Amino acid sequence: MVSCNIRSPGLPAVADRGQGGLLDVVPDPDFASNKTLYWAYSEQQGDSNLTAVAKGQLAADENSIQNISVIFRATPKLKSSLHFGSRLLFDKEGYLFVTVGERSNLDGRKQSQWLNSGLGKVFRITKEGKPAPGNPFIGRADVMPEIWSYGHRNPQSLDMHPVTGELWEAEFGPRGGDELNLIKPGKNYGWPIITYGIEYAGPSIGDAIQQKEGMEQPVYYWDPVISPSGMTFYKGNAIPEWENNLIIACLSGMHLNRLKLENGRVVGEERLLTELTERFRDVAYLEGKLYTVTDSGKLYVVKKK
């Protein structure tokens, strides 16, 4: 874990309206030697904005970031303050997964299905922001080669199973239909063609269908929604019955959601810390403990008694 008080005047400006802001920060897998950090943020471009990823090196005094560069932008830019995503995660090969939302408005929504658009996608890039080797669409004309999967709404949850190495993602549905997905390369996860939710105002979405050939079904979905934000696998056995369980921080749900997985399916669910009535923004695992932060600025530690 990295802790620093960053005051660098050279940091890229953040469009901090609505759901925009600093979206995620991760250390380089070789952080101990190169002191490099990567962060996702909402970037203003004229009267529009987009999700961007930058990197830089933590200075020796740990009070500033140096050698800053923007390595990736999820184009096109749109006029919206919603659904930026974005979660960052390094895989075991040292490539970076980046999740991006479809920006909520109707123009961005339909682009979740477009392979030449950066909206509603999971990307896999190198540390320099290039398409990672082995990506499913490399070499195809009129397709962004950084794309790993598509058809997503607003993915804010991402982690890899500590045993199988599978990539798991959770995303906001509309009114109903928050999803847990097992992400596979090149697959289409359906938004907005298929969904288990409806518009916030009540009407159906599209043709009001939940399944279509060529589109993936969620492993699990929630209705009413839980508003999944950060998530992590419980990677140790300090609490043996939680080993390899998936823990999701929930915003509107106001709890930590613990899911037991077996053979790619959810076989058990428990809601933790409901008595606190807090919006849980993120959760991390470290040395047998869960650390979770709320929108009200509180940090909680969950451990074995």
Nearest-CA neighbor of 168 among 179, 181, 155? Answer: 181
301: Cα separation from own chain's centroid: 22
In 113-163, DSSP assigns E strands to: 121-125, 147-150, 154-160
Q: Please, how many CA atoms are within 13 Å of residue 300, restricted to the half-sphere of its CB? A: 21
Sign, Cα dihedral of 194, 197, 198, 204:
positive
Q: Identify any residues that bridge with 26 across adjacent strands, giving them in sequence order.
A: 38
Task: Find the length of the chain.
Answer: 305
Long-range pairs of 109-113 with CB within 8 A, sequence gap ≥ 24: 109/191, 109/192, 110/192, 111/76, 112/150, 112/151, 112/152, 112/153, 112/191, 112/192, 113/150, 113/151, 113/188, 113/191, 113/192, 113/193
Assess contact for 231 and 157: CB atoms under 8 A. yes
Residue 142: CB atoms within 10 A of its CB come to: 7
Q: Does 255 participate in catalysis according to the annotation?
A: no
Segment (H or E) for 109: helix 106-111
- C-alpha 195/C-alpha 150 separation (Å) is 14
Segment (H or E) for 289: strand 289-294
Q: Which residues are catalytic?
A: 83
